[in-house]
Amino acid sequence: MLNSKTPKLDLHGEELALVYALVNEFLKDNYKMGNKEVIIIHGKSTNIITKEVHNILKNHQLVLKYNLNNWNLGETIVNLK
């Protein structure tokens, strides 16, 4: 269940070339800590980072499922194995 303590990765202003490394490390770290749900903040302006994040998530071995946050389309909620 999402709450104020749900881990978040904010990618605002990051270069596209760094997104893969940042997301991958964030997911691995949270998996090791036993977190089952995390949030990736990508913004909603041009969707370039959103598309890259979703491409990473759809093939990531630690991800059960992911979806845009219905209340904030600038965030993706990720469920980890």
pLDDT grade, residue 81 (50/70/90)? very high
pLDDT in tens, 10-69: 999 899 999 999 999 999 999 999 999 999 999 988 889 999 999 999 999 999 999 999
Tell me the C-alpha distance between 16 and 79, whole Å.
23
Residue 2 in tokens: 């999402």
Q: Is the pLDDT of residue 3 over 90?
A: no
What pLDDT, on a 0 to 100 scale, did the predictor assign at position 75?
A: 96
Q: Is the pLDDT of residue 74 over 90?
A: yes
Q: Residue 75 has what DSSP assignment? A: E
What pLDDT, on a 0 to 100 scale, did the predictor assign at position 13?
A: 86
CATH architecture of 8-75: 2-Layer Sandwich (3.30)
The pTM assigned to this predicted structure is: 0.94
Residue 58 in tokens: 């759809």
